[in-house]
Amino acid sequence: MAQFMDHGMKDITADQLMQAHQADLAVEREEGVRFEKAWADPSSGTVYCLSAAPSAEAVQRIHARAGHRADEVHPVPLAT
């Protein structure tokens, strides 16, 4: 398991954002992903998600299954 950060721009409201995050959590185990934290800017619709996962592809598959692909998913082996 490694740590990943993804981000995407989705023109959604705060409520839709939390629903999207719940949709991720509902299926994350099926790809061995654990979303640890999410941050969002509802004014621009930008979402950041920090996860522990076997691969960036697994993270993206969960987002895709939940209906909202990330623009980018990056491994973040370095953290302060």
Comparison of 13 and 32: residue with beta carbon closer to a second copy: 13
Q: Shortest CA distance to 18 belongs to which of 73, 74, 68, 71? A: 68
Show the CA angle centred on residue 41, arms to residues 20 and 21, nearest 5°.
15
Give min distance, CB of 56 to a second copy, in A. Answer: 10
Give min distance, CB of 3 to a second copy, in A. Answer: 7
Give min distance, CB of 32 to a second copy, in A. Answer: 19
Is-contact 11 5, C-beta < 8 A? no
List residues near a second copy by CB under 8 A. 3, 5, 7, 14, 17-18, 21, 35, 37-44, 46, 48, 50, 72, 74-80
CA distance 54 to 32: 7
